[in-house]
Amino acid sequence: MINISDINNIYIIANNKNISPELFKTIKYNDLVAVCNHDQWCDVFKNHDYKIIFVRYAESIDSWWGYNKLNPENYKYVIFINGTNKISSYLHIKNRLIIDNDNDIELYKKLKYPTNKWFSTGLIAYLFMKKNFPNKNIVLIGFTFEMSNEWHAGIYEKQYFLDNNVSILT
């Protein structure tokens, strides 16, 4: 279990293999590190005590992005996004949480998210952290907002973070 009083800052690391490792020097031992999908930087944070991963369900591969390559024991929590009808295969993972946000139409409306698009994993991670740790400083690392425009709204998400004064290190 993560004791929130032990956490200083929350860093959400983008699923981006081109992040400058220099950016990670700002992360301290008592910061929470949240990584997305494939965890491109698992070796950098392999000994970090407060690390969680958000993995998003993808129908095209009938699994969660990057899940097959990770060891759930390396994370305080594995947070599964969507795919709730498939989660029974992963009930053995004791440190799991499940988010089913694609059906949260009210949240999409409230945020005025573009229609026929889905929140990126990074935005889902931010919204989850903000809701559960409202008094903690949240910093995004490596977010370029260059994402599939077929599925996500990168320009909208960038503006959302800027409008909400979220720190973005790139």
Q: What is the pLDDT of residues 82-127, one digit of tens each?
A: 876 666 666 667 777 777 765 678 898 999 999 999 899 999 999 9
Q: What is the pLDDT of residues 45-90, one digit of tens each?
A: 888 989 998 988 877 666 676 666 667 778 888 888 887 666 666 6
Q: Would the pTM count as exceeding 0.85?
A: yes
Domain count, the chain: 1
- Please give the residue range of the domain that contains residue 103: 4-169
Q: State how far the Cα of 119 lies from the Cα of 104, in Å rounded to an integer.
A: 11
Amino acid identity at 100: D
Alpha helices in the chain (DSSP H): 105-110, 121-132, 154-163
Q: What is the pLDDT of residues 128-160, one digit of tens each?
A: 999 999 999 999 999 999 887 778 999 999 999
CATH of the domain at 162: 3.90.1480.20
Q: Pick left, alpha or beta for residue 142 (phi over 0 → left; psi -120 to 50 → alpha; otherwise beta).
A: left
Backbone dihedral angles phi then psi of residue 165, each to the nearest 5 degrees: 55, 40
